[in-house]
Amino acid sequence: MTVMTVIAVPAVEANSVCPETALVTASSYYDEAFPQNAYDCNLPTNWNSGTYTGSITAQFTAPINFDGVVLTANALPTTDEDYTIYGSNDGSTWTPIAQATRQVQDPSTGFNTLEPITFPQVTYQYLQIDIDGGASWVSLNEVQLCIGGCIDYGLDVDIDIKPNSFPNSINLKSKGNVPVAILSSPSFDAATVDRGAVEFAGAPALSIGGSPEDVNGDGLMDLILHFSTQSLNLKSGDTEACLTGKTLSEQEFKGCDSVLLVN
């Protein structure tokens, strides 16, 4: 399969790009707020569904490797909107990629570039975004894709998925949880982690656990957090899963480890 090289254009987020499209369609549109406006890399233009829900589908000129979507949107009034993202390589068979809820601001605040929706890298030629606009009509100024990560994590940390276990087997049908250790090092203290800002494979940390523990026997206190297995954004064939977060001083960090997905 040929994978396209996207055009480098002004981005609204680190490492995000405007993809080249062959066709953009939508469930509906209002007045001259056409669906292709959401993919023209021009923030002042927008797609508006003319209703409180909507779906927009883009066909790229070739398959693209990407690991996140950055949306610029507006709402009237300010409201929480739900986004469900799907990918396809034939335009008829769709695979769920991610789900997220973002607060979208009134346009009087200017262009609202939302927090990136991230996931393990995928390769698709078609992208569909279903949107529930809540109290507002659905409106998107721009859709951009993340190539090589949406966020520039300033700090790489070591993690250990299912400490003292290898391979790190995960049964995605399990109703249990997956422990992940964030390891301290001479340059990083796991005690400084803001637990409320940590996600593993897109899932937030559960409220259980979190006591300091020396997981790897190096004399430094590490942090073990737990994540609901059924909330993990992993799919068959994935061999790596990543944890992201912030410290209490707002330092972004990221760590990855191998996984073996089993049935």
pLDDT digits (tens, 9 = 90+) for 49-94: 999 999 999 999 999 999 899 999 999 999 999 999 999 999 999 9
Reported confidence tier of residue 3, pLDDT bands at 50, 70, 90: very low
Q: Are residues 141 and 21 in the same domain?
A: yes
Q: How many CB atoms lie within 10 A of CB 24?
A: 20
pLDDT digits (tens, 9 = 90+) for 132-174: 999 999 999 999 999 877 766 678 899 999 998 899 999 999 9
- Whichever domain contains 184, its CATH number is 2.60.40
Q: Are residues 103 and 223 in the same domain?
A: no
- Whichever domain contains 100, its CATH number is 2.60.120.260
Is cis: bond before 116, omega within 30 of 0? no
- Asked if 49 and 139 count as a contact pair (C-beta separation under 8 A), the reply is yes
Nearest to 120 by CA among 247, 246, 243: 243
Secondary-structure breakdown of the chain: helix, strand, coil percentages, each rounded to the nearest 5: 5, 50, 45
Beta strand ranges found along 76-234 (DSSP E): 79-88, 95-104, 112-113, 117-132, 139-146, 155-156, 159-161, 169-171, 177-182, 199-200, 203-204, 209-213, 222-228
Residue ending a domain, among 146, 174, 190, is 146
Domain membership of residue 200 as a residue range? 155-262
Residue ending a domain, among 146, 167, 182, is 146
**Bridge partners of residue 2, in order along the sequence:** none
- Residue 10 falls inside a structural domain: no
